[in-house]
Chain A
């Protein structure tokens, strides 16, 4: 930590404060700086506001545990398949080490946590992706856990709520990760045929192979405000069209306007929105 007087020395024009770690956006100091507007907020206060900036409404990324904590009824969560861990199926350079480092740093076994719980008393099968685990990319384990969750929901006829976030398929597992798109989408098809509700919530960012599979297949698709939602990365599009992209391109608001999602729901309203949807889909006259 530089001494206070040193901050104004030399060529440095801006004072760097490091209140949030860049990728996870987890506050780790007394004060937190908003990624979007730069507003400094007392971290306690930011946490009280569910990690949403008071000034500009920016929604910080949440860890899987945080998301579960603010979504499910207290004490209701039971985790599934936590023992599934990634192998290194195509012996991709550096992958095994990266997995190990990531497990150490995040305390997570993989990029998705699945389980069951209740929301406002209504039972749900729930999945939450955590961007801090290799960009919540989908490899064999993510695909398997998601498929198992859909299958369990199909058997037990319990609605699914999936909080999506992802950089896409996990390159380090080659074509096996690509095929997880097919596996999870096929599992969605069966859930749908069984007439069980699936609510997909797109959080910042939901992109590429995950957007192009189960994230887009909800009966109802919700997004958090400002979330980046798109298939192709913006840099790739800019290189293709050789133009700067318009502001707001691929934002939650943009995809709502283009008819790709049902609604945008602020974090503080998410739980009650989900509870209402679950209530409206409650099975009253179950046949058989």
Chain B
């Protein structure tokens, strides 16, 4: 059985259970307890606010991974008037971890792509837990190119722990396809709106995560490495993921601050899975706003803007260049010992 209650929600769930018991009791015995119930409900409401207004990064990661978190297909059915799913990469196979097709967003034809997690164990096996193989990314790119051809905006939903780490994925060029997708999407001559709905796991997310406008749900995360992976490298202890989530700066507010996403979409109280319709409405509004704004921009300018947007990401300092020593070593002709580098041949290991 999947545990649907997150640890930090337990006090709230217990309180809700007590309210329910009181209600049952009052009904059975026909005693009026409405005052007590109202007090407890008020208390529960306050507790809920207190918990959800003060979520730690790790708690947000847990929410992003919640088994009841709406998936791409859930959002598609709630947001679009019509959706015609299209399949296959035209090269190897149809990857269930990526879905896509043509949809109507309040009358606007759009192409939709997204990673798709399963909603239960059986679905998860078919969807490979939402972890795409190269053919999945190739399918997404095929649909995006089709969107470009027919001048349709692209909406991309990202919720992926990472590209699938398997033997066949490597054999079929996981690294190659991610690079190719990023390169092609960076110059796609139609507007692209990306919505990070849950997990934004590294290169596997970036492969469909480049766009003109990035929207991110309040409790989604976006990271170069999973908190578990980071903890394993940093402290040789994957169980310290909670601390790693703090240091990685992976929350939606962090992304806004770092200039990676344009807009953080607020989630209903208690997170997206507590009110799917409400969440979908918020996303839909933001999509319509973004697309109406971007559709007015000529494709050539869009591509220029997209490049400029990616080009400015990064922080560094500029020092006075002083590396004659290096230049000299590098010009040592064919002599590798003389050219070992400024540190000399005894350069020490650093990792």
Q: Are A69 and B349 in contact (CB under 8 A)?
A: no
A182 touches B179 (CB 8 A): no
Instruction: Find out whether the CB atom of B203 lies under 8 angstroms from the CB atom of A107.
Output: no
Of A3-11, A59-67, A278-286, the segment with at least 4 beta carbons within 8 Å of chain B is A59-67
Chain A residues closer than 8 Å to B343, beta-carbon distance: 105-108
Interface residue from A43, A62, A175 paired with B224 (Cβ < 8 Å): A175
43-71 of chain A: CB within 8 A of chain B: 43-44, 47, 50-51, 62-66, 68-70
Question: With A28-B346, A109-B323, A133-B350 given, is the CB distance from A175 to B258 under 8 Å?
Answer: yes
Determine whether A189 belongs to the interface, using a CB cutoff of 8 Å to chain B.
yes
Interface of chain A residues 218 through 274 with chain B (CB within 8 A)? 229-232, 236-237, 240-241, 245-246, 249-250, 255, 258-260
Within the complex, the shortest CB–CB distance from B323 to chain A, in Å, comes to 5
Cα distance A21–B175 in the bound complex, in angstroms: 29
Chain A residues, CB < 8 A from B229: 236
* A27 CA to B171 CA, complexed, in Å: 34
Given A147-B311, A175-B249, A230-B170, residue A83 in contact with residue B319 (CB < 8 A) = yes
Docked-complex contact B248 and A90, CB < 8 angstroms? yes
Alpha-carbon distance A170/B163, docked complex (angstroms): 18
Q: Is the Cβ of B313 less than 8 Å from the Cβ of A180?
A: yes
B318 to chain A minimum Cβ distance, whole angstroms, is: 5
- Residues of B within 8 Å of A, CB-based: how many? 82
Q: Are A86 and B316 in contact, with the CB atoms below 8 A? A: yes
Instruction: Report the bound CA distance from A130 to B342 in whole Å.
Output: 13
Q: How far is the CA of A93 from the CA of B231 in the complex (A)?
A: 12
Q: Choose one: A26, A186, A190, A232; the contact of B340 (CB below 8 Å).
A: A26
B342 to chain A, nearest CB (A): 3
Q: Which A residues are in CB contact (< 8 Å) with B224?
A: 169-171, 173-175, 177-178, 209
Interface contact A87-B317, CB-CB below 8 Å? yes
A140 neighbours in B (Cβ, 8 Å): 313-316
Tell me whether A77 and B349 are in contact (CB under 8 A).
Answer: no
Question: Would you call B350 and A134 a contact (CB within 8 A)?
Answer: yes
| Contact code string B153-185 (vs A, CB < 8 Å = 1, else 0) | 000000000010111011111111011101110
Determine how close the nearest CB of chain A comes to the CB of B303; give it in whole angstroms.
9
User: Which of B234, B250, B316 has a CB less than 8 Å from the CB of A84?
Assistant: B316
Set of chain B residues within 8 Å of A81, measured between Cβ atoms: 321
Q: Does A179 contact B (CB under 8 A)?
A: yes
B248 contacts across to A, CB distance below 8 A:
90, 171, 174-175
List residues 170-206 of chain A with CB under 8 A from any CB of chain B: 170-171, 173-183, 185-190, 192-193
In the complex, the answer to whether B350 meets A260 with C-beta atoms within 8 Å is: no
B29 contacts the other chain (CB 8 A): no
Chain A hits for B222, CB < 8 A? 175, 178
Among the stretches B60-68, B74-82, B119-127, B325-333, the one at the interface with A is B325-333
Q: Are A175 and B260 neighbours in the complex by a CB distance under 8 Å?
A: yes
**Contacts of A79-126 to chain B: CB distance below 8 A:** 79, 81-87, 89-90, 92-93, 98, 101-102, 105-109, 113
- 25 inter-chain pairs at a CB distance below 8 angstroms, sorted by A residue, are A26-B346, A47-B335, A63-B347, A75-B331, A78-B327, A79-B327, A87-B317, A89-B258, A98-B350, A105-B347, A108-B326, A108-B341, A109-B319, A134-B350, A144-B314, A174-B223, A175-B222, A178-B202, A179-B314, A183-B310, A212-B178, A215-B175, A217-B183, A231-B170, A231-B175
- Residues of B with Cβ closer than 8 Å to A? 163, 165-167, 169-176, 178-180, 182-184, 186-187, 202-203, 206-207, 210, 222-225, 229-230, 233-234, 247-250, 254-255, 258, 260, 306-307, 310-311, 313-323, 325-327, 329-351
4 additional contacts, CB 8 Å, given A170-B224, A189-B187?
A24-B347, A84-B316, A90-B248, A188-B183
